Amino acid sequence: MDTCRRSINSARIQTELATSYGVALEPLLRNTGITPEMLQQPDSEIELSQELQLVKNLAHATAHLPGFGLEAGKHYHLTVYGIWGFALASSPTIRAAIDLALRYIPLTFTLARFRLAEVNGEARIYMDDSDMPAEIRQYMLERDIAGIQNLFYEAMGTSIPLESVQFSCAEPPYAERFTALFGRQPLFGQAETYIAIDSCFLNMALPQANEHTRQMCEAMCRELLQKRHARSGLSSRIRDRLAQSPGQFPDMETVAAELHMTSRSLRRHLDSEGTSFRALIDEIRAILAEQAIREGMTVEDIAGRLGYTEASSFIQAFKRWKGMSPKAYRVSLGGSARVVRQQ
């Protein structure tokens, strides 16, 4: 599950559709921090936690509307995705478009993970929603799979027959809506979720293919993704969270719950950023320890402040961080460190 800030367009699409069915806007926005005014500003961005809360509200408020997720997916047009959508449309082939889409999928609105695999003559796009909160999984599965179907149609300018469709969820009472949308009866209760086309379609040329436009759009996608990660990378957010409670650091499960994800998902995201939860705690402790030494605190007080039960454990950690003891580090600071108030 991607953790970057995201465009508000998805929230706007979903709320507009829900209100067109008579659902009130206020309960959809409750506890999200999203205002009606923000929904009307195309350049607004929101946090993942805000969108998750919105989707939870939406799934609850539309529970009486069978297949609402499928209907929502139909409204995710190529143009809604901005530069990512233009990059797909200008790709030379379906294969190239899918490859590009997966590289820059954090720029989209999905909360799931996707991959392409060729199996028995089929090109399958797998959707992994295992990290999503259970209460929104069905809705998001419907929305995103229907959205993929819509992207295929708009990129090609025509329908591509599906070879197979299967879902990990149980068969819903409105299964006929899936059949009507996908043109074939899906299998439910399967080990994995995917939609598949014949592999021969992968090399089919797209009608709007333009290499110059594709290169320009992909460069813009790359730059946008880098800016988003720099501004709101997950590790940066967790550092800020840990720094709020020195000495009583929350465990990984607590932080994951606060971010509306599983600890497994959190671990994987941090790994992709080249770090770990333990390493972030270590990093924050090192920063706070240096600050405390500059303020003249004793080793014992610093150890307690950082959650160490023994001063010796803190001293060993500090040597690992700085290559010297706290005492030697204090001496190296010379006049920049305050006088120690107690020994």
Q: Which of 163-167, 202-206, 229-233 has the lowest mean pLDDT?
A: 229-233
Is the pLDDT assigned to residue 342 strictly greater than 70?
no
Is the pLDDT assigned to residue 336 strictly greater than 60?
no
Average pLDDT for 289-309: 87
Which SS3 state, helix, strand or coil, does residue 115 take?
Answer: strand
Query: Would you say 246 and 307 are in contact if contact means Cβ atoms under 8 Å apart?
Result: yes
Short-list 262, 255, 275, 229, CA closest to 129: 262
Average pLDDT for 178-197: 95
pLDDT band at 229 (very low <50, low <70, confident <90, very high): low
Is the pLDDT assigned to residue 137 strictly greater than 80?
yes
Long-range pairs for 227-232: beta carbons < 8 A, 24 or more residues apart: 228/4, 228/5, 228/106, 228/107, 229/4, 231/4, 231/5, 232/3, 232/4, 232/5, 232/47
Q: What is the pLDDT of residue 334?
A: 61
Query: Would you say 155 and 97 are in contact if contact means Cβ atoms under 8 Å apart?
Result: yes
Q: Which residues contact 52 (CB under 8 A, 6 or more apart)?
A: 111, 133, 136, 260
Q: What is the pLDDT of residue 173?
A: 96
| Alpha helices, DSSP H, located in the chain | 9-20, 25-29, 36-39, 48-61, 68-73, 83-89, 94-103, 134-156, 175-182, 211-232, 234-243, 252-258, 263-272, 277-294, 299-305, 311-322, 326-333
Q: What is the pLDDT of residue 269?
A: 83
Q: What is the pLDDT of residue 302?
A: 92
Would you kindly state where each structural domain of the chain is located, as residue ranges? 6-225, 235-336
**CB atoms < 10 A from the CB of 271, how many?**
10
* Amino acid identity at 258: E
Q: What is the pLDDT of residue 5?
A: 67
- The string of pLDDT tens digits covering residues 56-81 is 999 999 999 999 999 999 999 999 99
CATH assignment, 6-225? 3.90.1520
Supply φ then ψ for residue 146, to 5 degrees: -65, -35
CATH number, domain 235-336, options 2.40.50.110, 1.10.3720.10, 1.10.10.60, 3.40.50.620: 1.10.10.60
Q: Which of 131-140, 187-196, 333-342 has the lowest mean pLDDT?
A: 333-342
Is the pLDDT assigned to residue 22 strictly greater than 80?
yes
Q: What is the pLDDT of residue 240?
A: 78
Is the pLDDT assigned to residue 94 strictly greater than 80?
yes
Query: Would you say 45 and 7 are in contact if contact means Cβ atoms under 8 Å apart?
Result: yes
Query: CA 151 → CA 1, 23, 127, 211, 318, distances in Å?
Result: 21, 27, 15, 20, 53
Q: Which residues contact 251 (CB under 8 A, 6 or more apart)?
A: none
CA dihedral defined by 272, 273, 274, 276, rounded to 10 degrees?
A: -90
What is the Cα–Cα distance from 262 to 237, expressed in whole angstroms? Answer: 16
pLDDT band at 131 (very low <50, low <70, confident <90, very high): confident
Q: Identify the residue whose tokens are 């000495």.
A: 247
Is the pLDDT assigned to residue 130 strictly greater than 90?
no
pLDDT band at 4 (very low <50, low <70, confident <90, very high): low
Take residue 36 and report the two structure tokens written for it: 């009606």
Decide: residue 162, CB within 10 A, 0-12 exposed, 13-18 middle, 19+ buried.
middle
Take residue 235 and report the two structure tokens written for it: 């590790």
pLDDT band at 171 (very low <50, low <70, confident <90, very high): very high
Q: Which residues contact 236 (CB under 8 A, 6 or more apart)?
A: none
